Chains A and B, each alone.
Chain A
Amino acid sequence: GAVVSQHPSWVICKSGTSVKIECRSLDFQATTMFWYRQFPKQSLMLMATSNEGSKATYEQGVEKDKFLINHASLTLSTLTVTSAHPEDSSFYICSGPGTGGLAGVKEQYFGPGTRLTVT
């Protein structure tokens, strides 16, 4: 299957600083990628859809000015957590649709996730 990487795999930052997380599709191109957040012992929650060449679309309740998404190329999407606070500590996961399957039913490939801890 297709491979999605994330960098870093874990990061610790101080409150008030910004952190950038990269999501790369290593062997396929993606015009759309998705960002999820998972709090401890909770389910993955979709945060936003990253669109190559246009603005990201955010789910209800997600602050777009706090979680900046840039889809720089067909293989790279970045999520920047600005002015991070301890409540932003979470597991961030990205996904991208592979090239196989019919339009609208492409399999999603997930990255391994990035553990963010804000102190």
Chain B
Amino acid sequence: AQSVTQLGSHVSVSEGALVLLRCNYSSSVPPYLFWYVQYPNQGLQLLLKYTTGATLVKGINGFEAEFKKSETSFHLTKPSAHMSDAAEYFCAVSGGGTSYGKLTFGQGTILTVHP
């Protein structure tokens, strides 16, 4: 069984400030971890993913996330927020292999960026 918890349903930052969106997971098997972004009226878009190997993964638009097994976390960060980053972000986990597409999502975090 797997679950994902995103701490904070809303996060507000100023333009140029650090973005930190928190994600903790539980999984009975080695997890594959994902961050997706959803803009209004659009489908989910993959930001980045961790499957195996390097624990610090870089994604699109300057985002990165670090897999910390000991903390069961996969927090998403961006050094400097841009107005275009305002969207809803979802953390997700899957069991990999044939279960790869079967994602368990967190509740989502709405990111607001102030000028």
Contact = CB atoms under 8 A, between A and B. Distances in A.
B68 to A, nearest CB: 21
Contacts, number: 61
Contacts of A43: 4, 90, 105-108
Interface of B is mostly: loop
Interface residues of A, number: 26
Contacts of B104: 46
A107 B59 CA distance: 13
A105 B96 contact: yes
Contact of A44 (B45, B90, B100): B90
Given A105-B96, A111-B43, 10 more contacts: A43-B108, A44-B90, A45-B105, A95-B44, A95-B101, A104-B98, A105-B51, A108-B100, A110-B45, A112-B42
Interface of A: 1, 4, 9, 32, 34, 36, 41-46, 49, 93, 95, 97, 104-113
7 contacts: A34-B103, A43-B90, A49-B101, A95-B103, A97-B101, A110-B43, A113-B43
